[in-house]
C-alpha cells in the first residue's frame, strides 16, 4: 500500500499575498505530480509487458517474488523519508532525481496491478480516480472553509488504515480489507482537498523562483501524487475486476 505521506515543515517563508505567485507555485506542484504519474505509468506498463523485466520481479520457476520485487515494493518508503528529512540539506537537482527514482520504483511495484486486474477495469478506475481527484482539488482550492481540523481527523484515520492494513497482513480477512478500502477512499478524497488548500496557503507565502519554493513545490507534488495513487488503489480494490 502506497501510504507514504511526507509531513514536512515550511520554515522562514516570506508572507506575501500574490495570486500569480500562488498559481505559479501550484502549477509547479501539479507539474511534478503529473511527472511522477507519467513515470510510474510508464514503468508499470513496461515491466508488466516485457517478459525479461517481469522475470526480474517473479521467479518463473517457483512463482515467488524476487529480491528486486521486494526492493521495489518497500524502498519507496526510504526515498520518502530521505527526501523528508534531507529536504534542507539536499540540493534541488538531487531532490528531483530522488523524486523520479521514487516514482519509477513505485511504478515497478504497481506493475503487478496490470497482471491481476483487467486492462479495462484499471483504465476505468484510473479515469474515475482522476475525476474524483480533480473535483476535490478544485474544492480544496476554492473553498473558504478552513480544513485544518478536518485534515487532522483524516490523518488520524490514515494512521488507523495503516495499522489495520498491517494487522490484516496476518489475518487475511477479505471483509476487513474491503472495509479498509471504503474508509480509505473517503480519507484520500478528503485529504486531496485538504492538501490542495494547504499548498495554496503555502504558495501565497513563498517567493516564486527561489530554491526553497522549488523544493516545496516538488514535495507538494509528491504529496498529491500519493493522494492520487492511494485513492486509485482503494477504488481498484473495490471496483477492479480480476483476470
Which range of 13-22, 37-46, 143-152 scores highest in mean pLDDT? It is 37-46
Supply the mean pLDDT for the chain. Answer: 90
The pTM assigned to this predicted structure is 0.90
pLDDT tens sequence across 133-174: 999 999 999 999 999 989 999 999 999 999 999 999 999 899
Whether residue 12 is predicted with pLDDT greater than 70 in this model: the reply is no
Residues in CB range of 71: below 8 A, 6 or more apart:
105
Residues 6+ apart with CB under 8 A from 134: none
Sign of the alpha-carbon torsion through 89, 93, 98, 99: positive
Backbone angles phi, psi at 203, to 5 degrees: -60, -25
Are the C-beta atoms of 109 and 73 separated by less than 8 Å?
Answer: yes
Closest CA to 164 of 187, 194, 148: 187
Q: What is the pLDDT of residue 10?
A: 44
* 63-111 per-position pLDDT tens digit: 899 999 999 999 999 999 999 999 889 999 999 999 999 999 999 999 9
List CB contacts of 84: < 8 A, sequence separation 6 or more. 6, 7, 8, 219
Amino acid at each position: 500500500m502506497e501510504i507514504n505521506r511526507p509531513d514536512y515543515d515550511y520554515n522562514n517563508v516570506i508572507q506575501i499575498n500574490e495570486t500569480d505567485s500562488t498559481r505559479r507555485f501550484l502549477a509547479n506542484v501539479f507539474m511534478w505530480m503529473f511527472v511522477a504519474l507519467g513515470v510510474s505509468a510508464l514503468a508499470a506498463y513496461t515491466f508488466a509487458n516485457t517478459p525479461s523485466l517481469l522475470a526480474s520481479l517473479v521467479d518463473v520457476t517457483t512463482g515467488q517474488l524476487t529480491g528486486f520485487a521486494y526492493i521495489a515494493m518497500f524502498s519507496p518508503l526510504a526515498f520518502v523519508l530521505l527526501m523528508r528529512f534531507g529536504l534542507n540539506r539536499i540540493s534541488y537537482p538531487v531532490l528531483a532525481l530522488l523524486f523520479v527514482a521514487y516514482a519509477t520504483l513505485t511504478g515497478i511495484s504497481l506493475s503487478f496491478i496490470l497482471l491481476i486486474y483487467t486492462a479495462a477495469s484499471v483504465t476505468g478506475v484510473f479515469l474515475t480516480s482522476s475525476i474524483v481527484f480533480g473535483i476535490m482539488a478544485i474544492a480544496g482550492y476554492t473553498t473558504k472553509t478552513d480544513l485544518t481540523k478536518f485534515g487532522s481527523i483524516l490523518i488520524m484515520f490514515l494512521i488507523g488504515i495503516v495499522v489495520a492494513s498491517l494487522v490484516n497482513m496476518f489475518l487475511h480477512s477479505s471483509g476487513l480489507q474491503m472495509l479498509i478500502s471504503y474508509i480509505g477512499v473517503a480519507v484520500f478524497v478528503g485529504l486531496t482537498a485538504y492538501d490542495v488548500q494547504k499548498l495554496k496557503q503555502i504558495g501565497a507565502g513563498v517567493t516564486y523562483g527561489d530554491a526553497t519554493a522549488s523544493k516545496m513545490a516538488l514535495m507538494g507534488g509528491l504529496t498529491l501524487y500519493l493522494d492520487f495513487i492511494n485513492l486509485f488503489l482503494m477504488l481498484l480494490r473495490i471496483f477492479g475486476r480480476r483476470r
